[in-house]
Amino acid sequence: MGIRGNNSLQELSGKLYILLEWVTRFAYLHILWIFFTLFGGVIAGIYPSTTTVFAIMRKWLNGEEDLPVFKTFWSYYKRDFLKSNHLGIYISIILFFILVDLFYLYSIADSAMHWTAVPLSVGVLFLSFLLLYLFPVFVHYHLPVRKTVRTAFLLMLISPVQIFVMMISLFSIAVILWIFPAIGFIFGISLYAFVTVWASRYSFKRLEQKQVS
């Protein structure tokens, strides 16, 4: 019993250590995202910082857990600064259309134009699903920006299960953050990156299998 008890305690300690290690990584990555977003003047810094977060998260999930985080972050940030901001133009356009559609849907709620709500709602959903894949595709394939958008659109069409998983996971996180907002200030972008990178890996495998066959 004593040996078994010691083994169980060691296993528990090992799992707690791994958990705390990942918690620390997520918090540190979020801090770097904030710092480098501000470093780039927010507007020019937010997209390079975000793509870098996704690149590092991808490496971690692929088993590269011992990489020098700050050095790697700075390297990706510099390398992809212009390309990330180019992608940011597309993302900003998509977000603009989503916001315009949502505002329009709100304004026609009690008008004779309410019949347009269905196609516009579908459009908002499609654009939102597309956004889920843009950053994971950007860091996985290293394509030109236009091909990144097209590939993200293709993955959105062939991976409804992964989109469902992403949406449920992100909704669950949103509920937790609503109840405990401090978690968002500590982990923020890291949680979003983890969910979308983790789920999109299965979409990438499916796409690559289709291309091979």
Q: Cite the DSSP H helix spans in 159-188.
A: 160-179, 181-186
pLDDT tens digit string along 25-51? Answer: 999 999 999 999 999 999 999 999 999
pLDDT of residue 18: 86
27 close to 111: Cβ distance less than 8 angstroms: no
Query: pTM for this one?
Result: 0.88
Look at residues 41, 75, 35 and name the one whose alpha carbon lies nearest to residue 55: 75
Q: 191: which residues sit within 8 A by CB, 6+ positions away? A: 26, 173
Give the residue extent of every domain in the chain.
2-212
pLDDT of residue 89: 94
Residue whose pair of structure tokens reads 């950053």 in the numeric block: 135
Question: How many CB atoms lie under 10 A from the CB of residue 155?
Answer: 24
Average pLDDT over residues 158-171: 91
pLDDT at 120 over 90: no
- DSSP tag of 115: G
C-alpha torsion 157→93→48→76, nearest 10? 40
169 close to 146: Cβ distance less than 8 angstroms: no
pLDDT tens digit string along 137-153? Answer: 999 999 999 999 999 99
